[in-house]
Amino acid sequence: MTLGQDIEVVVFDVIGTLVDELGGVRAAIREAVPAADDAAVDELLTGWQHLVAREQQHIGQGQRAYANTEVIDGEAAQLVADRAGVATPETVTRLATAAQRLSPWGDSVTGLGRLAQRFPVVGLSNASRTALLRLTVHAGLRWHYTLSTETVLAYKPAPAAYQLAIETAGCPPERMLMVAAHAWDLRGAQTQGMRTAYIHRPGGDPPTNSDVFDWHGDGLAELVTSLTASQ
């Protein structure tokens, strides 16, 4: 599947799309609770995920005032600590920052580097500004610009998140490509007129039969080829 020649700016989701969120948080839980077996670690990880998703949803629905990911991840870390019987404050603090130490997928660094030679490349993440900065350094990601939805006190898929990217890029949304491993994220971008590219990643949110995205593939190498074929 080849994209047209009209893409001017490429916007990437970060967590899960370019870095391994589940693997990183799972490793952090295992470090915090070394005596836990695989089943227990997976159960704690599920609790972490449910808390984060629930609290972000509450914020989106106006049931909670905005709190950034550092606050919510802290709450998730405390939940894990309480369930696992971890009482050391230093351990909980380190666990709360797990999302700042996620490893990139094998094609992320090279793929971003290649795209950045041809297009303005922007990161658009729900991660807080501080977490996004530290994650970018840790994972070695190359950007021209990074945007945290903390700036608009919202979480994707709130329209304000994508409008932040559109206004920053200064070009029509139909000339911007949103890349994500989460179909819900791409649906949000579509509502604001952006083009969409789905990349399959373990633990992502795959498209349903009713989703129609401009591109889909298994990795960044395919996306780079599609975007540069007609350049």
Say what the pLDDT of residue 120 is.
Answer: 96
Say what the pLDDT of residue 110 is.
Answer: 96
The structure's pTM equals 0.95
Q: Is there a single domain that holds both residue 83 and residue 124?
A: no
> What is the Cα–Cα distance from 92 to 146, expressed in whole angstroms?
28
Last-in-domain residue among 42, 67, 100: 100
- Beta-strand (E) ranges in 113-223? 121-125, 145-148, 176-180, 195-199, 215-217
Last-in-domain residue among 100, 117, 134: 100
Say what the pLDDT of residue 101 is.
Answer: 97
Say what the pLDDT of residue 229 is.
Answer: 79
> What is the Cα–Cα distance from 29 to 164, expressed in whole angstroms?
33
Q: Is there a single domain that holds both residue 115 and residue 169?
A: yes
Q: Where in the sequence is the domain holding 87, given as residue range(s)? A: 21-100
Q: What is the number of domains present in the chain? A: 2
List all residues 6 or more positions away from 138 whose beta carbon is below 8 Å from its beta carbon.
Answer: 100, 101, 102
Say what the pLDDT of residue 1 is.
Answer: 56
Question: Which residue in the block uniquely carries the two structure tokens 């074929």?
Answer: 229
Q: Which amino acid is at 161?
A: A
Say what the pLDDT of residue 4 is.
Answer: 66
Q: Which residues of the chain have pLDDT under 70?
A: 1-2, 4, 230-231
Last-in-domain residue among 78, 100, 122: 100
**Residue 4 domain flag:** no
Q: Is there a single domain that holds both residue 184 and residue 72?
A: no
Say what the pLDDT of residue 230 is.
Answer: 57
Question: Which residue in the block uniquely carries the two structure tokens 């952090």?
Answer: 28
Long-range contacts of 51-58 (CB under 8 A, 24+ apart): 51/75, 51/76, 51/79, 52/76, 56/126, 56/155
